[in-house]
Structure 1
Amino acid sequence: MNTQIEKAKEGIITAEMHIVAKNEKVEVEWLRNEIALGRIVIPKNKNHDFPVIAIGNGLRTKVNANMGTSEKHCHFDEELEKMKVAIHYGADAIMDLSTGGDLHIILQRIIQESSVMVGTVPIYGVATRLLAEGKEIKELDPEDLFREIEIQAKMGVDFMTLHCGVTKVSLSFLENDSRVCGIVSRGGALLKRWMKENGKENPLYEQYDRILDICKQYDVTISLGDGLRPGAGADATDRAQVAELLVLGELVDRARDKGVQVMVEGPGHMPLDQIEANMKLMKRLCGEAPFYVLGPLVTDSAPGYDHIVGAIGGTVAAIHGADFLCYVTPAEHLCLPDVKDVKEGVIASRIAAHSADLVNNVGGARDRDLTISKARYDLDWESMFQNSIDPEMARKRKMESESSEEDHCTMCGNLCAVKNDKSM
C-alpha cells in the first residue's frame, strides 16, 4: 500500500485528501501538493478507521490530549472517560502514554473507541515491562523496541513519538554545557541512560531505516521526539536543543525520501521572546515539516496553572509556525491529570489554537468570531452559546445568574451598553 505522501507525489488525490480539503475549506490540489512536499501530514494508520484530520501548513491548528495509566494510578475506565471528555471538548488527537496495567489491551481499547487519531511513545511500554521484570534500563534489548514499534503499527497507531535525535553527538553538546533541569523527556532520559551504560549509539538513530520500513507498511506518521527539549526557561535554545534539531532535520529528509510521513516535536519551556525565533529555526532546519509543540510553557513559576501558561506560549508558537499543540493541564509537574484537568487542558489549548488561527486567517476562525460578535450585539444568547469554544460553560453561567430569563446579564443590568446604544 502506498502512503499518503507517496500517492501525493504521484499526483493521486486520495479519499482522505478530499475529506480534509472539504473540512479545511482549501483546494484539494493545493493540499495534495503540500502533502507531497511534506508540509502537511494525514496521520492515519491503514488499520484504524476514523474521520481523518490533517496537520500542517495553512490548516487549522490542531490539539492533542495526552492520557494513560501510571504505575501509581492505574484505572483504565477513568482513562477512557478522559479520552471521551477530551474529544468532546475538541481534541483532534489522543496520545496513550500508559505505563501501568496491560499496556497492549489498554492501547487496543483506545484505538477501537477513539474517533480521532491515536499516538504513542513505544519506548514507554518496553521500559515499563523491563522494570516490571526486575531488570535495569541498561538491559533493554533494542530488538524489543523495534518489535514494540511493529506491534503498535499493526494495532493501528496513527503516529509515534520516536526519540531518534538523541545521539552521541547531540548528547555531547548537553554534557559540555550547563543546564538547570537536564533532560525532562522520559524517552530522552531513558535513551541517554541506555547509551551511556552500554557505550552504544541510539538504536533508533542507528537503525532508522528499520523504523521507516515499519511505518511505511502501515502509513504510520513518525513524530520525531525532542528528547533534549528544555525543561526550564533558563535552558531554552541551548546547544543541546539545537544540536538535536539538526539531527531531526536530517531524519525528516530521509523519511520523506522513503515515502514516510513525518512531523517534528518542539520545545517545552521557553521564554515568550524566544518562541518566534525557535519556530522559524525549526521550520528552516526541518524543511517546513509540521511542528508539534508542548506548550511552550513561558514561565516556570505557575504550577497548578500550567494550562494557562501553555496556552499563552501555544498561541505565540502557532502564530509563528507551530501546527499541532500538545495540551498542558493544571496537573502538569504535579500529578496525573484527572477528568476535570483534561477538560481544562483541552479547552485552554483550543483557545490558544483558535487565537492563532484568527491571526493566520485559517480554518474559518474569523467567521466564527464575527458570528459571535454579531450575536452579542443582537443579544442573541443562543447563537453566542452555540458558537462558543465551550458552549456548556457559557450557557451554564448565564442560566445560573439572576438574569437568566432576561436579555441582559447581571454585570450591567439595565445599564447594558448594547441596549442603550441600540435605543438611539
Structure 2
Amino acid sequence: MATQMEHARNGIITDAMRVVAEAEHQDAESIRERVARGVIAIPANVNHKNLRFGGVGEGLRVKVNANIGTSSTFPDIEPELLKLDEAVRCGADAVMDLSTGNHIDESRRAIIGHSPVMVGTVPIYEATVEAIKRHGAVVDMTVEDLLSTIEKQAKDGADFMTLHCGLTRNAIERLRKEGRVMDVVSRGGSFLTGWMLHNDKENPLYEHYDELLDICAKYDVTISLGDGLRPGCLADATDQGQISELLNLGELTLRAWDRGVQVMVEGPGHMPFDQIAANMKLEKQLCHGAPFYVLGPLVTDIAPGYDHITAAIGGTMAAVSGADFLCYVTPAEHLALPTIEDVHDGVMASRIAAHAADIVKGIPGAKEQDLAMGKARKILDWEAQMKLAIDPEYAKKKRGARNPEDEGACSMCGDYCAVEIVNQYMKK
C-alpha cells in the first residue's frame, strides 16, 4: 500500500489531501505538491479508522498537540480518555499517548479507537517498561524488543511516532565534552543514552533505521524524529549536543523521504527568547524544510505552575520563525501529571500562540477572525464576541460573573466606556 508521500509523488490527490485542502482553504494540487516534497506531512495510519485528516507543515495553520497517557502512579485509562475529549473539544489537532502505566497496549488501543484526531506514540516507553519486566533492566533491552514494539504500535494505528534515531554516541560524546547543567531530560533520550553507555553500542534506532522505515511505510506512519538531547534549561540551549543531533536528523529525513515515509522533526525545549528564531531557521535549513514540531520553547526556567504561559510566549516566536506544530505545555509541567483542567489551559495557551503566529504568517482566515472581533467590539455586540472567542464558554463565564445581565458596556469602565462615548459622538 502506498503512503501519502508516494501517492503525491505519483500525481495522485488522495482523500486526505482533499480534506486538508478544504480545511486550510487551499488548492488540493498545492497540498499534493508539498506532500510530495515532504514539507507537509499528513499523519494518517491506514489502521486509524475514525481519523479526521489533518496536515502539518509549510503554508498551513500552525497545529497544536496535547500529551495524555497513564503513569505508574496513575495507571487508570478512563481519566486519560476524558482528557482526550477535553483536548479535542478545546481544539487540539493531535494527541500523543505517553502511557507508562499498567496495560500500555490497552491504553493505546483505547486512545486510538477513541480519538478523531491524529495520535502519536513514543515506542521506547513501552519497550523500556517491557524490558524491565522481561529482563530486569532497561539496559538489557534487545533490538528485537524495540522493533517489535514499533511494529505493534504501527499495527494498532499510531499516526506518528517519536523515534530518537538521531541520538548517536557521537552526539552524546559532544555533550559530555562540552558539559551541561541538566544533561539529558528527554525520557526516551535518557533510556537510549543509558543503553548505549552501558552496552558500549550505537543507538539501535540509528543502526536499524532502514527496518524502521519498512515498518512505517507499511502502515503509513509518519516518523517524528525525536530530539533526545533537547535542552532542559536555558543554560543548555543551542549547545553541541543539540546541534549535532539536529545534523543527524537532517540526514535521516532524506533517508526517510527516499523510502516514501513522511517525516516531522522535533525541537526544543528550554531556550532563551533571543535564540528561538535562529534555531527554527537552522532546523528548516538542516532538515530540508521538513515540518518542525516543538515543545514550547519555554523561555524561562523559573515559572513552575505557569509554564503554559512560558511555552506560549516561546511558541509564538517559534511558529512565526518557521515551526509548524506546537506541543502544548500545561501548568503542571515539571510538577505533576496534568489534570483535565491543566489540559484545557495547556491547549488554549498553545492555540493562542499558534493563532498569533498564523496572523503574521498570512494563513488564510486568521486575520479575518480578529477583524470580525474588532467589528463586534465596536458595536458592543456581546453575542458575536462570545462566538468569536477562542474559548467561548470561559469568556461567557467571565462576563456573566462581573456584569449586570442587561449592561451594554463591561464593568471595567461602566458609565465611562470609551467605545460607547466615541460611538455616541461619531454618529453626530
TM over 0.5: yes
Taking the aligned partners of 2:273 and 2:293, their CA distance within structure 1 comes to: 17
Query: 1:227 is matched by which residue type in structure 2?
Result: G
Q: State the shift of 1:403 in Å.
A: 2.4
1:336 counterpart SS class: coil
Q: Which residue of 2 aligns with 1:42?
A: 42
Letter in 2 for 1:13: I
Shift of 1:129: 2.2
Give the TM-score taking structure 2 as reference length. 0.98
1:321-361 residue CA offsets vs partner (Å, 9 max, x unmatched) = 00000000001011111111111000000000001111111
Distance 1:363 1:306 in 2: 30
- Structure 1: stretches of 5+ with no match in the other structure: none
Local SS of the residue matching 2:22: helix
Q: Tell me, what secondary structure is at the counterpart of 1:2?
A: coil
TM superposition shift of 1:133: 4.6
1:395 equivalenced with 2:359 (yes/no): no
Q: Give the CA deviation at 1:406.
A: 1.6
Distance 1:133 1:240 in 2: 32
Query: Shift of the alpha carbon at 1:285?
Result: 0.2
Give the match for residue 201 of structure 2. 200
Deviating above 3 A after TM superposition, structure 1's stretches of 4 or more consecutive aligned residues are: none
The answer on whether the counterparts of 2:309 and 2:349 sit within 8 Å (CA) in structure 1 is yes
Residue in 1 that maps onto 2:267: 266
CA distance in 1, matches of 2:345, 2:407: 29
Identify which range, 325-334 or 405-414, moves more after superposition.
405-414
Q: Is 2:309 the counterpart of 1:308? A: yes
Query: Quick one: which amino acid aligns to residue 336 of structure 2?
Result: C
Would the aligned equivalents of 1:99 and 1:128 in 2 still touch at CA under 8 Å?
yes
Q: 1: CA distance between counterparts of 2:364 and 2:272?
A: 28
Residue of structure 2 in register with 1:247 after alignment: 248
SS, match of residue 372 in structure 1 = helix
The equivalent of 2:153 in structure 1 is 152
Deviation per CA, 1:377-397, whole angstroms, max 9, x where unpaired?
111111111111100011111
TM-superposed deviation, 1:130: 2.4
Aligned partners of 2:215, 2:370: CA distance in 1, in Å? 43
* 1:236 corresponds to 2:237: yes
Contact 2:127 2:145 (8 Å CA) reproduced: yes
Q: Which deviates further from its counterpart, 306-315 or 393-402?
A: 393-402
* Distance in 2 of aligned mates of 1:411 and 1:330: 27
Partner of 1:362: 363
What is residue 23 of structure 1 aligned with on the other side? 23
- Kindly state the Cα deviation for residue 262 of structure 1 after the two structures are TM-superposed: 0.4
1:362 aligned counterpart, secondary structure: coil
What is the alpha-carbon distance in structure 2 between the residues aligned to residue 404 and residue 41 of structure 1?
Answer: 47
Given that 2:308 and 2:350 are in contact with CA atoms closer than 8 Å, whether structure 1 keeps it comes out as yes
Q: Quick one: which amino acid aligns to residue 364 of structure 1?
A: G
How far residue 363 of structure 1 moved from its aligned partner, in angstroms, is 4.0
The 8 Å contact of residues 3 and 259 in structure 1, kept in 2 or not, is answered as yes
Quick one: which amino acid aligns to residue 211 of structure 1? L
Q: Which moved more, 1:397-406 or 1:45-54?
A: 397-406
Deviation digits for residues 188-227 of structure 1 (CA, Å, limit 9, x no counterpart): 1100110111111111000100000000011000000000
Output the CA distance in 2 between the equivalents of 1:114 and 1:189. Answer: 29
Match of 1:72 in 2: 73
CA spacing shift, 1:363–1:98, aligned 2, 3 Å: farther
Query: What is the alpha-carbon distance in structure 1 between the residues aligned to residue 190 and residue 137 of structure 2?
Result: 14
State the SS of the aligned residue for 1:65. strand
Look up the equivalent residue of 1:163 and give its one-letter code.
H
Residue identity in the other structure for 2:228: G
Letter in 2 for 1:5: M
Identify the residue that residue 104 of structure 1 maps to in structure 2. 105
Using the TM superposition, name which of 300-309 and 122-131 deviates more.
Answer: 122-131
Matches within 5 A, 1:18-417: 18-49=18-49, 50-133=51-134, 135-417=136-418
Q: Is the 8 A contact 2:44 2:53 kept in 1?
A: yes
Does the aligned pair in 2 maintain the 1:398–1:404 contact within 8 Å?
no
Q: Which amino acid in 2 is paired with 1:42?
A: I
Contact 1:358-1:366 within 8 A present in 2 as well: yes
| Structure 2 residue matching 1:292: 3-state secondary structure | strand
Q: Which amino acid aligns with 1:400?
A: A
Q: Is the 8 A contact 1:89 1:390 kept in 2?
A: yes
Write the deviation string for residues 70-123 of structure 1: whole angstroms up to 9, x where unpaired: 111222111111111111001100000000010111110101110100000001
Structure 1 residue identity aligned to 2:41: V
